[in-house]
Amino acid sequence: MIAVKRAKQGDRIQLSQLKKGQKAKVIQLNTCDRAFRRRLLDMGITEGVHLKMKKIAPLGDPVDLELRGYELCLRKADLELIEVEVIS
């Protein structure tokens, strides 16, 4: 596996590549699974929303995101479907 470098501001990456403490803006949800996409939308992951990679589980997966004033846990595999732009 190639070690993933910390993405810089303005980079477009998969949400799964975001490091702990980094903030990003959601660009696109790349999933065809309607039910799953709707769940993400319902939980507030809409295009343009700002989120922060807040906590990572002790075993590396899943991760905890902060958005819209609350915290949401998702698996890394699911985060790969979310394209984001790094803010900081």
Partner 1 sequence: MRIALVGNQNSGKTTLFNLLTGTHQKVGNWPGVTVERKIGIIRGTDFELIDLPGIYSLSPYSLEENISRSFLFDEQVDLILNVIDATSIERSLYLTTQLLELNIPVVMALNMMDIADKRGIKFDLETLEKRLDTTILPISALKKTNVFNLIQTIKQGDYRRNLYQHIYDHELEKLIAELEPLVDTKHPRFLAVKVIERDPLFESYLDEKVESLVNDYSSKYHRDMEQVIADERYRYIEFVRDEAVLAKQQNLTLTDRLDNIFLNRYLAIPIFIIIMFGVYYLAAGPFGSWTVDLVDGVITHLKEWMEVFLTDVNASPWAVSLVVDGILAGVGAILNFLPQLIILFILISLLETTGYMARIAFFLDRIFQKVGLSGKSLIPFIVGSGCSVPAIMSARTINDETEKKMTIMLTPFIPCSAKLPIVTLFAGYFFGDRSGFVAASLYFLAIIIILVSAIAMKKILFRGKTSSFILELPEYKRPSLRYLWFDVSSKALAFIERAGSIILIASIVIWFLLSFNWRMTYGVQVDDSMLASIGRLISWIFYPMLGELSWAASVSAIQGLIAKEQVIGSMAIIAGYSSDVTQGSLLFTSGIFRFFTASSAYAFMVFNLFSAPCFGAIGAMREELGTTKRMWKAVLFQTGLAWLLAVLVFQSGRLLEVIL
Q: If binding is defined by CB under 8 A, does position 9 make contact with partner 1?
A: no
- To partner 1, the closest distance from the beta carbon of 3 in angstroms equals 18
Pick one of 23, 27, 78, 80: the residue that binds partner 1 (CB under 8 A).
Answer: 78
Q: If binding is defined by CB under 8 A, does position 57 make contact with partner 1?
A: yes
Among residues 51, 50, 48, the alpha carbon closest in space to that of 63 is found at 51
Among residues 26, 66, 71, 70, the alpha carbon closest in space to that of 46 is found at 26
Q: Position 83: which residue type?
A: E
Residue owning tokens 């589980």: 57
Pick one of 11, 37, 80, 85: the residue that binds partner 1 (CB under 8 A).
Answer: 37
Q: If binding is defined by CB under 8 A, does position 1 make contact with partner 1?
A: no
Cis peptide preceding 62, ω within 30 of 0: yes
Q: If binding is defined by CB under 8 A, does position 80 make contact with partner 1?
A: no
Neighbours of 77 (CB within 10 A): 10
Residues that bind partner 1 (CB under 8 A): 29, 34-44, 46-49, 55, 57-62, 64, 68-75, 78
